Every structure is written in structure tokens, then in C-alpha cells.
Structure 1
Amino acid sequence: MPKILPQVGGDVVELILADHRWFEEALRELRDVRSDRAAVLADLAAVLIAHAEAEESKVYPSLRKRDAIDAEEVEHSEHEHDEGNEALLALMEVGDTSSDEFGDKVHELSEALSHHLDEEERDVLNPARTDVSAEVRERLGADFAAERARLLDANCGEIENVRRIVAEAGKK
């Protein structure tokens, strides 16, 4: 299992892509019956929540303000985060990591996450590359990395926090 990436700054597009590749590796580990699935899931929950929350609070508003993405794209991406969080919570609530149910829930999370990563890379990150200056992407990278680190330090992937996030999304 790859270590949780210690991000301190850089181009926000590259930082987000590094997390995306990390998510894909974590999902591969979750599918491997020989891995420590509980540990992998704990790491994935922490990084996934920190990543999405940092995008929503730091990256999307800035890209929207600069007209790189529109309100509809922000809403769509946030909706996909909500779907991913629901799938993550369902997986976290499975007691037996060796059960068929765990495998089924890994598949559901993998489907939701893969769909989101693909769309975000095409519809959010590409416009960020072309419509936002390198200087702004660097500043956004520092803001994203700092917020992600703050959330990781606050144990954002704990199941009670994931439940709270899913419940709040249900009230939107």
C-alpha cells in the first residue's frame, strides 16, 4: 500500500492527479484478499475525505471565480463526491473484510470513484490547465495541500465524520 502522500504544494492539477493515482492503487489493494484491507480502507477513507473536502473548499470556488468551470460543473462534482462518500460509508460499515459483501461494496466504491476521477480529469482539471495561470495553480496547490493536511491531522476519515458528511449531503 502506498503511503499517504505528504503534499506541501505545487501545481494543484498535479497534486490532485497524484491523489487520483493513489486512490486507484488503494482500490487495487482493497480488491486483493492478501492485503490488510482494514488498514487500506482506513487510509483510503482519510485521504478521500480530505481530498474531496479540500477540493470543495479551496479548488472549485477558485476555478469557478476564474471561469475555468461553471456552477453546473461544481454542482456535478460535489454531487459525485457525495455519491462516493455514500459508497465509502457503506464499505466502512461492513464488518468482515473477507466477506462477499465487502467485495461488493469495494466494487460499488470503485465504480463511483473511477467515474468521478475520469470526469474530473477531463472537465475540471483540463480547463484548470488551460484557463488558469501557473502562478494561480501553484497558489491553489498550496491552499489545497494545507487544507488536505489539516483535515488528515483532524482524523477526517473516522467513520463518525464520514457519517456526518453523508448525512449533511442528504439534507441538501
Structure 2
Amino acid sequence: MPKILPATGGDVVEIILADHRWFEEALRELRDVRSDREAVLADLATVLIAHAEAEESKVYPTLRRKQAIDADEVEHSEHEHDEGNEALLELMEVEDTGSEEFSEKLHELSEALSHHLDEEERDVLNPARTDVSEQERRDLGDAFAEERARLIKSGCGDIANVRKIVEAVKD
């Protein structure tokens, strides 16, 4: 199982990419019937929620102000976070990690997450690389890492919190 990466400062693009690779590894681990799926899922939920919330509060607004991305891109990325959170909650709510239902819900989460990672890397991170200075990316990386760490420490991946986040979108 991949350990939860402590996000230290640095270039925000590199920090986000490291999380993306971690998500892919966690999904692979969840597909393996021999793994401790409950533990892997708990870690995935924690990092996924912290990552998305930190992007929405720190990264997207800054990239928007720097005109690296536009309002439509922010809205689209946030919508994809909402879809991923909903798929995550549905997976967390499956009681039997060895069931066909778990496998189906894992597939749905994997599809939503893979789609989002691909689009974000092309449509958000590439403009961040070219339209934002290295120092600004480092400053943004520090802010992202700090917020991500705060959220992880708060237990943001707890099912009650994930449910609250999903329900807030529906209201």
C-alpha cells in the first residue's frame, strides 16, 4: 500500500502530479483482492478529499487570477471533483469489500478519477507550467501542501465528512 504522501512545499504542479500517481497506485491496490481494501480505501478517501478541497480553495482561484485557466475550466474541474466524491462515497458505503458491488463501485470511481486526472493534467497543469512563474508555483505549492496537510490531520476522509460534502453539492 502506498503510504500517504506528506505534501511538502515545492512546485505545485509536481505536488499535484505526485498525488495523481499515488491515486493510481491506491486504485491498483484496491483492485487486488489480497490487499487490505478497507485500509487502502480509508487512505484514498483522506488524500482524495484533502487534495480536491485544497485545489479548490488554493490552486484554482490562484490560477484563475493569473489567467492560466478560465472560469469554465474551474467549474468543470470542480464538477469532476463532485462526481468523484459521489463515486467515492458510494464505494465507501459498500459493506463487503469482496463483493461484486464493491468491484462495480470501484470501477465507477476509477473511471471518474482517471478521466479527471487526465483532463486536469492537460487543461490545468499545463497552463500552470507555462503561464505562472516558477516562484509563484512554489508559493502555491506551499499553500496547497499546508492546506492539504491541515485537511488530512482533520480526518477529512471520514465517511460522515464525505457524505456531508456530497450532500452539500446536491442542495
TM-score (norm 2): 1.00
- Which residue is equivalent to 1:64? 64
Offset at residue 160 of structure 1 (A): 0.3
The correspondence of residues 1-172 of structure 1 with structure 2, limited to 5 A, is: 1-171=1-171
Distance 1:135 1:121 in 2: 20
Aligned-CA RMSD value: 0.3
Offset at residue 170 of structure 1 (A): 1.2
Offset at residue 8 of structure 1 (A): 1.6
Letter in 1 for 2:100: D
Secondary structure class of the residue paired with 1:114 = helix
Distance 1:40 1:52 in 2: 18
Distance 2:134 2:169 in 1: 33
Secondary structure class of the residue paired with 1:7 = coil
Offset at residue 94 of structure 1 (A): 0.1
Letter in 2 for 1:26: A
Distance 1:102 1:130 in 2: 40
Distance 2:144 2:151 in 1: 11
TM-score (norm 1): 0.99
State the identity %: 78
Distance 1:170 1:20 in 2: 26
Mind listing any 5+ residue stretches in structure 2 that lack a counterpart? none
Secondary structure class of the residue paired with 1:22 = helix
Offset at residue 157 of structure 1 (A): 0.1
Offset at residue 43 of structure 1 (A): 0.2
Distance 1:25 1:8 in 2: 20
Distance 1:137 1:170 in 2: 33
Mind listing any 5+ residue stretches in structure 1 that lack a counterpart? none
Letter in 2 for 1:84: G
Offset at residue 51 of structure 1 (A): 0.1
Count of paired positions = 171
